[in-house]
Homo-oligomer: A and B are copies of this chain.
Amino acid sequence: MAGRPRASSQRMLEEAASELFLEQGYAKTTIEQITQRAGVSRNTFFNYFGSKSDLLWIELDTSLAVLSEALAEAPEGEPPLRAVAGALHATAETFTPERAPLVLTQHEVMGIDAELKATGLARALAHADVIERFLAVRLTGPDAALRARAIALAVLGAAAAAVGRWAADGPERDPLVAYVDRVVGPALAGFGG
């Protein structure tokens, strides 16, 4: 393995960005400010992140990995909807207050608007795609494709509501799993077994 070693770790950029977001909000923070504080050039930022909004949703990438893995490990015999519920449960367990997207725990400080919600939705859609692909394989029947996508988006919407509520409830809340379990079951129930 040859090549120049990475001088500025991704972490330094993340931390510089977190500080600035909390100090002055997301919108007013420029990439140039972030890279200056991290001590690198502006272009280096794009070696580590594809866009500014990536910084808000980093933890969702690991969440997506957990979800994928949990679904992949679902035994063949398990009812598909039960597998989805279990996978979401497992995913929610990884969301501790420290390891949650900054934007969720600090959204009142950072000034989150509609455009920012859209960037979060794009990430959430990736989760839905994973669930949909899982279901597309395991569901049968005429409407399988429509049902797979509908179930995936519906259950993800319910989970998103749980996450949002959890974030809004502040530090004294129950763990996220409690919120998620309360809504994922009902969202799936109507789609039968």
Contacts and interface: CB of A to CB of B under 8 A. Distances in A.
A164 interface: yes
A150 B166 CA distance: 12
Judged by DSSP, the binding face of A is: helix
**Number of this chain's copies in the complex:** 2
A191 interface: yes
Contacts of A158: 150-151, 153-154
Most buried by B among A121, A145, A155, A187: A187
Contacts of A189: 189-190
Most buried by B among A115, A182, A186: A186
Interface of A: 114-115, 117-119, 121-122, 125-126, 128, 143, 145-147, 149-158, 160-162, 164-165, 179, 182-183, 185-192
